[in-house]
Structure 1
């Protein structure tokens, strides 16, 4: 999911994200994959992509993984493959990155916004019930920041009204509900490999996860202009029959090579992210005017994976400016709720319709969190946050 950067007023002492150190340590493994790629001479939609799909399927437990060129394209193709028809409504949270909703439009549907649970930041099942109409065909839980949406309740709502569940699990690499990986609880889900993600490439890349072979076949064809049949090492491809309306959304093998190298240390990176999140919580607990992220109890075994450490402050913008003046970069998730975005003005929403989403947009701020973050930088950020908040509450 994207975010808006706070403008730094001083040279960055603590960037919001960097992978320089970890990438240097991964270079020998990455180079081995790149050497294989160069020797084969197939740089897009080739053997490295197929290898990544196989490894990711084993890692997530998905029966099918289809690599594409971004998390956004993954959503568009998944929605189409899951049966979205022109004009169908898809319920989407009002608090998420804009791609969750624009993907519905690009797939031919109509987004319908619902409010969020103020603790998990995910779709509120009661709000889903309130906005559902006879034209609603799908519901899209978005798993944000560090934990899954309330899948038990949302799946019950979907079953009750015969709605298809499509998960925007772009941020949810490694998250599981009762042992089942995010994205595999309905028709399918997606992963984004944008560089800042828990598993990030060095450019844009994404994937569709599904256990449904029909969905997988449709996505695999649509990512390659609707063509079916073999797609690896069968150059040229211009005369292959086109059975579906598709697009050019193939993953390039350089990104696949990087992701294969980084998968070797995915568990280590997830553990480091958890360690850093625990460090923030320990240092910031009891800070006045600050709300810290919470891991909600669930009806099934779930595991948090700390993609983002999101705090809420009653002086969010002032806090971001204070941190920027001291060289600490932050991100605002998200400055404007989707129902008030200009691109959705024709839907006719007004401020006040989804109060929890609007409150999060006004209060939420993400602190630096990534495996390369040093402990002394963690101390610095926490000290700055605590000092600012205490000054505001004297």
Structure 2
């Protein structure tokens, strides 16, 4: 099916009073600014701008909020993945099963850690790693399984834990988007050996630049990751961890978190629960207005689980006919969107040498062709959502209501 050939339906477009950007945080940041300013001032007065007191306080606060025994703050979600894989013992040439539908860092982190990504298909409802496809991807060289929690919900962690246990694999989580999500009360990232969080500005809890963290309940993994982020140091000496893993005996890197980012995150953390509630309200408003629009193939669906889980909407993702034409139409009318993700990982040119072909993972490929993220952040107003939904309806029907 060609999703880009036809144009929008005839008829005048709905009136709009202002653009609706894909992301904005001016209002919510202004609310948090007094707390952030006080912490930033403390950083300046202290004169320690990296790996200092604010970072230590942030690690303690995040550990308490998530329930993690250990939190290791680093300079990005991508580095968090790389260092977690290394701290968990990934050795050169080891295979890690990952979904074919995810951000590039899911697979590139495996390569950067010295391993080889092995792709599997996704569940078409949750967009997360399909347990049966993951099991089929395991070979004698596979040592790890890394599901990704995407958009608003966790992967099927009961089934994936079963896959890992049957094949003797270490389970690590790309939980970069999943702050606040829990499985039977356990926070994302703590359902296996460890997981990560990203604090990229657009995330549910965002800094003012790149920042990330590793979560784990394993003291040895935390110790290794903590040293690896700081050139392999423990204190002022270079570290060696015999018996922990082969990977931790390699050189460390410079991946310390800046104290200014920690100060921002500490100032915003008390408002996180309210931001999560606001995102739920926005998602419900979108769904109410879009549920009967012809041309929208699917709205976000939270999977029914036997486990006690809670959705946390990071992105509001729809599947649409003529997805690219819809995105262009919205852009022409001042509405920002994002495509998650235009090319599946197994078909990215950088992974061509792995030998994957089009058609191998049909659910991932279909998602790449049809999904579109609409504007979604706590600063959105009801009027903004009305504008976006009226334009989407007009694109498909020629009518704004």
SS, match of residue 39 in structure 2 = helix
Normalising by the residue count of structure 2, what TM-score does the alignment of the two structures yield? 0.92
Identify the residue that residue 375 of structure 1 maps to in structure 2.
Answer: 382
Identify the residue that residue 272 of structure 1 maps to in structure 2.
Answer: 278
Contact 2:231 2:238 in 1 (8 A): no
SS, match of residue 200 in structure 2 = coil
- Quote the Cα distance in structure 1 between the aligned partners of 2:62 and 2:133: 34
Offset at 1:264?
1.1
Is 2:87 aligned against 1:90? no
Is 2:130 aligned against 1:133? no
> How large is the RMSD of aligned CA atoms in angstroms?
1.3
Offset at 1:390?
2.4
Match of 1:23 among 18, 23, 29: 29
- Quote the Cα distance in structure 1 between the aligned partners of 2:286 and 2:121: 28
Q: Deviations over 1:305-355 (max 9, x none)?
A: 000000000110111011011100000000000000010010011110000
Is 2:159 aligned against 1:153? yes
Match of 1:344 among 351, 361, 366: 351
Residues matched between the structures, number: 374
Identify the residue that residue 63 of structure 2 maps to in structure 1.
Answer: 57
Match of 2:302 among 277, 289, 295: 295
Identify the residue that residue 238 of structure 2 maps to in structure 1.
Answer: 241
Match of 2:392 among 376, 382, 385: 385
| Residue correspondence of structure 1 range 2-151 to structure 2 within 5 A | 13-151=19-157
Distance 1:272 1:164, change over 3 A: same
Runs of 4 or more consecutive aligned structure 1 residues displaced over 4 Å after TM superposition = none
Is 2:341 aligned against 1:334? yes
Which deviates further from its counterpart, 33-42 or 48-57? 33-42
Contact 1:173 1:191 in 2 (8 A): yes
Unaligned runs of 5+ in 1: 1-9, 230-236
Contact 1:11 1:327 in 2 (8 A): no
Match of 1:187 among 193, 197, 218: 193
Match of 2:366 among 339, 344, 359: 359
- Quote the Cα distance in structure 1 between the aligned partners of 2:227 and 2:354: 32
Offset at 1:222?
0.2
- Quote the Cα distance in structure 1 between the aligned partners of 2:18 and 2:209: 22
Identify the residue that residue 211 of structure 1 maps to in structure 2.
Answer: 217
Offset at 1:107?
0.3
Contact 1:77 1:223 in 2 (8 A): yes
Contact 1:12 1:328 in 2 (8 A): no
Offset at 1:183?
0.2
Q: Deviations over 1:46-87 (max 9, x none)?
A: 000000000000000000000000000000000000111110
Identify the residue that residue 307 of structure 1 maps to in structure 2.
Answer: 314
Contact 1:189 1:209 in 2 (8 A): yes
SS, match of residue 118 in structure 2 = strand
Unaligned runs of 5+ in 2: 1-15, 241-248
- Quote the Cα distance in structure 1 between the aligned partners of 2:314 and 2:145: 23
Offset at 1:261?
0.4
Identify the residue that residue 284 of structure 1 maps to in structure 2.
Answer: 290
Offset at 1:389?
2.1
